[in-house]
């Protein structure tokens, strides 16, 4: 077995997250089922899926808040069951839990006392640029201001892996822009890996270079956006019966085919990188990230696509 801390072929430093056969069953059924993937270290990874897809359950499993029913999960090669992972990650939960009676200054002091690598200057900077009074009690702050303090706590910890569950939901457009810029700068400067669950697809296009897509607790797509996007093509053309022309359908995997009147618009993919679709009475265009994500979110029976970079070793060995 290779070492998660060793240099990857592309010069990057191993992988940050590795899930193998990960599953979580609640009384009503499986929230996550047989999920296996790797996220290489240093990536900004979007975790995408409809409501109830299992995103928070995955983040809960990675942060020791949820105990998986099946499989294994490692952060930087350390099983999440090992308390040694605690110093490696920071987590910004959807409800941004903070102590309401603490002041902002108390909250940052708590961060400093609990975290050996605490970066007080970075945390203070984030709070200051939101014009938040250090003496204000958390309970008196607006939702967006609380989010900013939670960001300051997460960044101040200087984690190797930052996990965020819908971090921007209650921020105004300016704060959104500022904090996403900060996230990118942080990741670039410190090599931090980021995993961010979000429903705001256009935002992800600008920020993320790696994708994880879940629907119904199953992994549908995983890999570098640079590898995933070029594998897909948007095709439009005329159809008599709603089906794609046979010659076209034979040359690709159809992710989604939508028919309006006598016109089809299909998201297709070729399984061999660089393979071309046959020419014919149809038009092709490269899809944007949002087109690809929406295709997989709508067509839940499309075959999953997990690129080689996102597959744990067992899959590579079996291939």
Ligand X SMILES: Nc1ncnc2c1ncn2[C@@H]1O[C@H](COP(=O)(O)OP(=O)(O)OP(=O)(O)O)[C@@H](O)[C@H]1O
CB of 31 to ligand X, least distance (A): 3
Residue selected from 26, 290, 304, 316 as contacting ligand X according to rule CB under 6 A: 26
Q: Residue 56 or residue 193: which is nearer to ligand X going by CB?
A: 56
Q: Residue 69 or residue 253: which is nearer to ligand X going by CB?
A: 69
Q: Which stretch binds ligand X (CB under 6 A): 45-53, 85-93, 285-293, 301-309?
A: 45-53
Q: What's the sign of the alpha-carbon dihedral 188, 189, 191, 196? A: negative
Q: Which stretch binds ligand X (CB under 6 A): 25-33, 108-116, 181-189, 251-259?
A: 25-33
Q: Which stretch binds ligand X (CB under 6 A): 51-59, 229-237, 244-252, 254-262?
A: 51-59
Cα–Cα distance for residue pair 77/210, rounded to 1 Å: 19
306 contributes a contact to ligand X by CB under 6 A? no
Q: Residue 58 or residue 282: which is nearer to ligand X going by CB?
A: 58
Q: Residue 49 or residue 245: which is nearer to ligand X going by CB?
A: 49
Largest CA distance in the chain: 69
Q: Residue 78 or residue 93: which is nearer to ligand X going by CB?
A: 93
Residue selected from 4, 14, 23, 54 as contacting ligand X according to rule CB under 6 A: 54
Place of tokens 């993937």: 37
Residue selected from 49, 68, 111, 167 as contacting ligand X according to rule CB under 6 A: 49
Give CA 317 to chain center in angstroms: 25
31 contributes a contact to ligand X by CB under 6 A? yes
145 contributes a contact to ligand X by CB under 6 A? no
51 contributes a contact to ligand X by CB under 6 A? yes
Residues 120-139 that bind ligand X (CB under 6 A): none
99 contributes a contact to ligand X by CB under 6 A? no
Q: Which stretch binds ligand X (CB under 6 A): 54-62, 140-148, 183-191, 262-270?
A: 54-62
52 contributes a contact to ligand X by CB under 6 A? yes
The order of strands in the sheet holding 193-197 is 89-92, 161-165, 193-197, 44-48, 210-215, 218-224, 305-306
56 contributes a contact to ligand X by CB under 6 A? yes
215 contributes a contact to ligand X by CB under 6 A? no
The footprint of ligand X on this chain (CB under 6 A) covers a number of residues equal to: 11
Do residues 63 and 17 touch, judged by C-beta distance below 8 A? no
Cα–Cα distance for residue pair 214/154, rounded to 1 Å: 25
Q: Based on the number of CB atoms within 10 Å of its own CB, is 7 exposed (0-12), middle (13-18) or buried (19 or more)?
A: exposed
Binding site for ligand X (CB under 6 A): 26, 28, 31, 49, 51-57
């Amino acid at each position: 077995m290779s070492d998660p801390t060793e240099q990857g072929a592309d010069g990057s430093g191993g992988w940050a997250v590795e899930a193998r056969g990960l599953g979580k069953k609640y009384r009503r059924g499986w929230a996550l089922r047989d999920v296996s993937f790797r996220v290489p270290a240093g990536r900004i990874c979007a975790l995408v899926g409809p409501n109830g897809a299992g995103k928070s359950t995955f983040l809960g499993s990675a942060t020791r808040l949820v105990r998986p029913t099946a499989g294994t999960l490692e952060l930087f090669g350390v099983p999440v069951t090992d308390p040694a992972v605690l110093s490696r990650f920071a987590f910004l939960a959807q409800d941004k839990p903070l102590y309401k009676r603490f002041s902002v200054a108390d909250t940052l002091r708590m961060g400093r006392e609990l975290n050996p690598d605490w970066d007080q200057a970075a945390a203070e900077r984030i709070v200051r640029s939101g014009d938040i009074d250090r003496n204000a009690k958390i309970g008196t702050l607006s939702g967006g201001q609380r989010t900013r303090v939670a960001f300051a706590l997460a960044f101040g910890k200087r984690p190797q892996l930052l996990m965020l569950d819908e971090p921007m939901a209650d921020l105004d457009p300016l704060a959104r822009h500022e904090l996403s810029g900060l996230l990118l700068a942080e990741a670039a400067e410190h090599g931090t890996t980021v995993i961010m669950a979000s429903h705001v697809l256009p935002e992800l296009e600008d920020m993320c270079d790696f994708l994880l897509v879940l629907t119904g607790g199953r992994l549908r797509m995983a890999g570098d956006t640079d590898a995933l996007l070029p594998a897909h093509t948007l095709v439009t053309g005329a159809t008599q019966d709603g089906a794609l022309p046979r010659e076209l359908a034979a040359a690709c995997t159809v992710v989604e085919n939508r028919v309006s009147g006598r016109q089809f618009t299909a998201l297709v993919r070729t399984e061999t990188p660089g393979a071309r679709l046959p020419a014919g009475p149809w038009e092709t265009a490269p899809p944007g990230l949002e087109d690809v994500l929406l295709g997989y979110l709508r067509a839940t029976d499309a075959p999953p696509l997990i690129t080689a970079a996102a597959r744990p070793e067992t899959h590579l060995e079996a291939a």
